[in-house]
C-alpha cells in the first residue's frame, strides 16, 4: 500500500524528467526506491518528514552493477540506523521487479543495481524500432531562445562563438523533444556607436558608389576608420552625436542609412552562421531597435508600480536584493538623465514581448557570464513589475571565456580580436593537413570536403564539450587531434561503424532479438539506454557538454566492444545479427547526437 506522498516526490531528479511518458530504467529504479521509502515511512522506520533527492548514478565499472545510489548513507542519520542496515531495509522494502536482476549492498552502504538482461533487451528493442530512439517526449512548451545576439558595429569575432553554437545545440535538443522553439537574435543595432557609423557612411556616400561598397565589405575596417575619424575630428564627433539622436527619433534619412548598414552587417552574420551551420536566419533577428516603441510603455508600467526612483536625474529601479560590496543599493538604470534608454530597458521590453506576445513558458539567454548581474536584475524587475506572466521562466545560461594557452582572452598575434570567419578558415586549413597526412591516397577534392566538415566540427565540438560555465583554453592542435574527446575521434568512430554496417550488406538483422553476452557488449547496450536521460538533461540545463560526454563514452565503449567481439566474422548467426543490430543502434544514436550538436558527418576519413 502506498499511502504517503512525501515531499521528496517533487524534488527527485529536479525538473529533469518532468512529464515523461515512458519510464527509463533509471526512472524505474528511482520509482522503486521511492516506493521503498514510502513503505519504511508507513512502517515508522523512517520519519515522516524526511526530505531527499534520490540520487542514482550509472556505475563506471559494470562489476558493481549498472546503477548505484548513496541513499542509505544520506538517510542513515534520520533513520537512526547504520547505513548498511538501512540499505538492507530499503532493498527489502522495494516492490518486486522483473527489471532488476539483483540489488547488492556495497562498501559503507551503497546499493548497486544490476539490470535484468531481458529488461535491457526490451529497452534496446524499443529504441531500435523508433526513429527518435524511444526518447520520452515531454509536454511541449513554448521556449524562446536568445542567442548569438552580436552588436552589429563590428564583424563577428571569437567572443560570439560560444553563444551561437551552444545556443544552437540547445535549440536543436529542445526541438528534438518536440518543444515549440522561437529563436531570437537580439542584435545590438541601436546603441551610440551607430552615430559614428552613420556619420562615416554619410561622408562616404558623398564619394562614388563603388568606393562605398568597397568600404563596407570589410566591416571591421569600416568600424575602425569610423572610430579613427571620431577620435580625431571634433566636427565628425559632433555630427555622430547628432545622428544618434536623429536616428533614435526616427529621422527618415538616418533610418535609411542605418538600414543599409544593418543589412550588410546582418548579411555578414548570416555568412558566419552558414559556415558554422548555426540555424539562425534573418527572420530570427529581433534587435534592440525592435523594442524602441515599447520603451516608454515599460517606463510607464514601472512608474505605475511605483518602482521608479530618480537618482542624479536618471530614472532607476532599486531592489533590496541587489547591493554593492558596501551594502549600498545598486540601481537598474531605466532612463538616463535628459532622456535616452539603456540596455536594461530594451531587455525589459524584450522580456515583456516574449512573455506576452510570444507566450513563452521559458526564455533562455545564452550570454556571457559577465552579464549575469544584468540578467538577475532585469529578471527581478520584470517579475516585480509583472511585465511577464507568472508561468514565464527566464533563465540566464551564462558561459565562460575562450582563452589562449596563457589563460588570457583569445587574440590575434598582434593583440587584435580574432574574426570568426578567419578562425573557421584556419580550422579548415589545419584539418586539411591532418586529413592529408592520414589519407595520402585520397583526391584533393575528397580531402577538401572532409577537411571542411572536420574543421568546423572540431571548433564546435571543442567548445560544446566543455562545461559552458567554465572558461576554456582554445587549442587548435588538440581539437583537431584524433585522440581524446574530440570531433575527429568521434566522427572517425562513426565512419568505422558505418563501414562495418555497409559490409554486412543485406544481412537482415532487424528482426533478430538482442542477446548480449560479453561484458563489453553489455556495457555498450547499457549505455545506449541512457540516451533518454542525457537528452533531457541538456534541454533542461542548457548544457550540451553532457551529450558530448555521453557520445565520447559511447564511442569508447564501441571501440572496446569491437576489440573484444567479432562481428562480421562471428559464425553464430544469432550472435552476429544481435551485434550488427547493436552497432546499428550505436550509429543512429551517434548520428542523432551529432545532429543535435550541429555537427555534420562524413562517409570516410
Query: Which spans of this chain sit near ligand ARG (rule: CB under 6 A)?
Result: 146, 149-151, 186, 188, 347, 350, 365, 367
What's phi and psi for 48, nearest 5 deg? -55, -40
Give min distance, CB of 427 to ligand ARG, in A: 23
Give min distance, CB of 344 to ligand ARG, in A: 9
C-alpha span between 431 and 451 (Å, rounded) = 5
The CA R_g of the chain, rounded to the nearest whole Å, is 28
Give min distance, CB of 267 to ligand ARG, in A: 18
C-alpha span between 604 and 502 (Å, rounded) = 12
Give min distance, CB of 244 to ligand ARG, in A: 17
Kindly tell me which of 157 and 536 has the beta carbon lying closer to ligand ARG.
Answer: 157
What sign has the CA pseudo-torsion 499, 504, 510, 515?
negative
Kindly tell me which of 34 and 411 has the beta carbon lying closer to ligand ARG.
Answer: 411
Kindly tell me which of 149 and 355 has the beta carbon lying closer to ligand ARG.
Answer: 149
C-alpha span between 6 and 301 (Å, rounded) = 41
Kindly tell me which of 87 and 385 has the beta carbon lying closer to ligand ARG.
Answer: 385
Show Cβ contacts of residue 186 under 8 Å, excluding neighbours closer than 6 positions.
146, 149, 286, 287, 288, 350
SS3 314: strand
Kindly tell me which of 38 and 189 has the beta carbon lying closer to ligand ARG.
Answer: 189
395 forms beta bridges with 364
Kindly tell me which of 379 and 509 has the beta carbon lying closer to ligand ARG.
Answer: 379
Kindly tell me which of 215 and 347 has the beta carbon lying closer to ligand ARG.
Answer: 347
Nearest alpha-carbon partner for 288 in 248, 324, 245: 248
DSSP E strand stretches across 308-371: 308-311, 314-323, 329-335, 362-365
Cα→Cα distances 274→164, 453, 462, 463, Å? 11, 13, 19, 18
C-alpha span between 21 and 130 (Å, rounded) = 15
Kindly tell me which of 286 and 545 has the beta carbon lying closer to ligand ARG.
Answer: 286
Give min distance, CB of 144 to ligand ARG, in A: 10
Give min distance, CB of 375 to ligand ARG, in A: 8
Give min distance, CB of 50 to ligand ARG, in A: 42
Cβ 549 vs Cβ 597: under 8 Å:
no
Kindly tell me which of 388 and 557 has the beta carbon lying closer to ligand ARG.
Answer: 388
Kindly tell me which of 154 and 537 has the beta carbon lying closer to ligand ARG.
Answer: 154
Show Cβ contacts of residue 77 under 8 Å, excluding neighbours closer than 6 positions.
none
C-alpha span between 285 and 63 (Å, rounded) = 52
In DSSP notation, 364-433 reads: EE--BGGGHHHHHHHHHHHHHTT-S-TT-EEEE--B--EE-TTSSBP--TTSPPPBHHHHHHHHHHHHHH
Give min distance, CB of 196 to ligand ARG, in A: 17
Give min distance, CB of 148 to ligand ARG, in A: 9
Give min distance, CB of 367 to ligand ARG, in A: 4
C-alpha span between 477 and 525 (Å, rounded) = 33
- Distance of alpha carbon 540 from the chain centroid: 9
Amino acid at each position: 500500500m502506498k499511502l504517503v506522498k512525501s515531499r521528496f516526490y517533487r524534488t527527485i531528479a529536479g525538473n529533469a524528467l518532468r512529464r515523461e511518458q515512458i519510464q527509463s530504467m533509471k526512472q524505474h529504479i528511482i520509482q522503486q526506491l521511492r516506493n521503498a521509502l514510502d513503505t519504511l515511512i508507513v512502517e515508522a522506520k523512517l520519519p515522516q518528514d524526511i526530505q531527499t533527492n534520490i540520487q542514482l548514478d550509472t556505475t563506471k565499472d559494470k562489476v558493481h552493477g549498472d546503477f548505484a545510489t548513496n541513499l542509505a548513507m544520506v538517510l542513515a542519520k534520520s533513520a537512526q540506523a547504520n547505513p548498511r542496515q538501512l540499505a538492507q531495509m530499503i532493498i527489502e522494502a522495494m516492490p518486486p521487479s522483473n527489471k532488476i536482476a539483483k540489488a547488492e549492498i556495497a562498501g559503507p552502504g551503497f546499493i548497486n543495481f544490476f539490470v535484468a538482461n531481458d529488461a535491457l533487451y526490451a529497452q534496446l528493442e524499443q529504441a531500435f524500432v523508433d526513429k527518435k530512439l524511444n526518447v520520452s517526449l515531454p509536454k511541449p512548451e513554448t521556449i524562446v531562445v536568445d542567442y548569438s545576439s552580436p552588436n552589429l558595429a563590428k564583424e563577428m569575432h571569437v567572443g560570439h562563438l560560444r553563444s551561437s553554437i551552444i545556443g544552437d545545440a540547445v535549440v536543436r535538443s529542445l526541438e528534438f523533444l518536440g518543444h515549440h522553439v522561437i529563436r531570437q537574435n537580439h542584435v545590438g543595432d541601436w546603441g551610440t556607436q551607430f552615430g559614428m557609423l552613420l556619420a562615416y557612411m554619410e561622408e562616404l556616400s558623398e564619394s562614388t558608389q563603388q568606393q562605398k561598397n568597397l568600404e563596407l565589405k570589410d566591416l571591421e575596417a569600416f568600424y575602425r576608420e569610423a572610430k579613427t575619424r571620431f577620435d580625431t575630428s571634433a566636427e565628425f564627433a559632433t555630427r555622430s552625436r547628432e545622428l544618434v539622436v536623429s536616428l533614435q527619433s526616427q529621422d527618415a534619412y538616418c533610418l535609411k542609412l542605418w538600414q543599409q548598414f544593418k543589412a550588410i552587417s546582418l548579411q555578414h552574420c548570416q555568412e558566419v552562421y552558414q559556415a558554422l551551420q548555426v540555424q539562425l536566419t534573418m527572420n530570427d533577428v529581433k534587435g534592440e531597435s525592435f523594442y524602441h516603441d515599447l520603451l516608454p510603455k515599460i517606463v510607464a508600467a514601472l512608474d505605475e508600480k511605483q518602482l521608479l526612483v530618480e537618482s542624479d536625474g536618471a530614472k532607476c529601479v532599486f531592489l533590496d536584493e541587489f547591493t554593492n560590496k558596501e551594502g549600498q543599493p545598486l540601481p537598474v538604470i531605466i532612463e538616463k538623465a535628459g532622456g535616452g534608454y539603456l540596455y536594461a530597458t530594451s531587455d525589459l521590453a524584450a522580456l515583456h514581448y516574449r512573455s506576452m506576445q510570444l507566450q513563452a513558458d521559458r526564455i533562455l539567454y545564452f550570454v556571457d557570464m559577465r552579464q549575469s548581474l544584468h540578467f538577475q536584475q532585469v529578471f527581478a524587475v520584470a517579475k516585480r513589475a509583472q511585465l511577464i506572466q507568472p508561468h514565464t521562466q527566464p533563465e540566464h545560461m551564462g558561459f565562460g571565456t575562450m582563452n589562449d594557452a596563457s589563460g588570457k582572452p583569445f587574440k590575434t598575434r598582434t593583440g587584435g580580436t580574432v574574426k570568426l570567419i578567419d578562425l573557421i578558415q584556419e580550422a579548415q586549413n589545419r584539418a586539411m593537413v591532418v586529413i592529408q597526412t592520414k589519407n595520402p591516397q585520397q583526391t584533393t577534392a575528397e580531402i577538401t570536403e572532409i577537411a571542411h566538415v572536420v574543421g568546423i566540427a572540431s571548433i564546435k565540438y571543442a567548445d560544446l564539450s566543455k562545461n559552458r560555465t567554465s572558461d576554456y583554453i582554445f587549442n587548435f592542435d588538440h581539437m583537431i587531434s584524433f585522440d581524446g574527446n574530440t570531433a575527429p575521434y568521434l566522427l572517425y568512430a562513426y565512419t568505422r561503424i558505418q563501414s562495418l554496417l555497409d559490409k554486412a550488406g543485406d544481412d537482415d538483422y532487424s528482426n533478430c532479438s538482442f542477446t548480449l553476452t560479453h561484458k563489453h557488449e553489455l556495457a555498450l547496450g547499457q549505455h545506449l539506454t541512457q540516451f533518454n536521460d542525457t537528452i533531457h538533461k541538456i534541454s533542461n540545463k542548457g548544457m550540451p557538454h553532457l551529450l558530448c560526454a555521453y557520445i565520447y563514452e559511447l564511442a569508447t565503449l564501441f571501440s572496446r566492444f569491437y576489440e573484444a567481439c567479432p562481428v562480421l566474422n562471428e559464425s553464430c548467426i544469432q550472435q552476429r545479427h544481435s551485434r550488427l543490430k547493436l552497432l546499428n543502434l550505436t550509429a543512429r544514436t551517434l548520428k542523432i547526437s551529432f545532429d543535435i550538436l550541429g555537427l555534420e558527418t562524413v562517409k570516410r576519413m
